[in-house]
Amino acid sequence: MNSFSAQSRAKIEFVADLIRNSKHTVVLTGAGISTPSGIPDFRSTGTGLWSRDEPLEVASLSTFRTKPGQFFEWFRPLARQMFEAKPNAAHAALAEMEMRGFIKAVITQNIDALHQKSGSQIVIETHGTMRTLTCTQCYHQAQAGAHIERFVETGELPRCPRCAQLLKPDVILFGEQLPQAAWFAAQKEARACDLMLVAGSSLEVLPVAGLPMQALDRGAHLVVVNNTPTYINVRADAAILEDVAAVLPAIAERVLNG
C-alpha cells in the first residue's frame, strides 16, 4: 500500500470495503491482467499484437479455413507465450478472494487459462480457451496439452487423433460468434451481481464490453482497475488507473485481513 498515492490508497480501501459488504461480487478481466505474465495484449499502441498485424488477415475464421498455415505461423509465438506463462499476483489475489467466498465468478476475455492455473474455480471464458482444440472435420475435442507443446516446439500442426484433419484451437477468431453457453453465463452473472470489478480490460470489444452496463442497469456497484481509462469510468464508484498486478493484491490484502 505504501507505494501508492494517498488517493489510490483511499480508493483501494474503499473498494475492499465494497467487496467485503457485497453479497455477489463478479470480476470481469481482460488482457491487462495477463500482460505482467508476459502475454502481450492486442490493442496497446506500439506493443499490442494489432499494432504489428492486421487481425482480419491473421486471426479470422476465414484465414484459418483458407490459409491455415498462415494462421498457425502467426499463432505459434503467441501459443508459446501462453503455454509458458505463469499466473501473476493479480490472478492469485482473485483466486484467494474466491476461495474465501468474496468473489462468486470471474468472467474473462482471455484465452490463456491463467485464472484456472492460479486456482480460480468459477471462470467464464467468453472468447474461448487455449485448453482444448476441436477437429474441423469430425468435431472431436482434444485436450491441448501435448498437441500445443509439440506444435510450439516443432511447428507440427495439430491433427485429430481420429481422422488426422486439422485441430482448431477453441479460441474465438474474427468472424465467429461467442460460445453461447459462456455468453449466457456471463450475462447471468452480470445481471445477478451487486458489485462488478473490471480488471485489466479497456472495454473496447463488444459484446463483452457491454456487461458493466448490464450490471449498472440493475443497480450494481462498479469498480474499474486498469492502467488506461475506459468508457465506463464516469459511471464507476471507483476507477483506479494503476497496475492491476499491484492493485488487486493490495485490495485482496485489505479484504482478507481487514
H or E segment and range at residue 77: helix 68-84
Among residues 127, 140, 147, 221, the one annotated as catalytic is: 127
Distance CA 104, CA 165 (A): 39
Omega before residue 207 within 30° of 0, cis: yes
Q: What's the gap between Cα 184 and its chain centre?
A: 17
| Contact of 163 with 140, CB cutoff 8 Å | yes
| Contact of 126 with 182, CB cutoff 8 Å | yes
| Contact of 244 with 90, CB cutoff 8 Å | yes
78: left (phi over 0), alpha (psi -120 to 50) or beta: alpha
140 is catalytic: no
Catalytic residues: 127
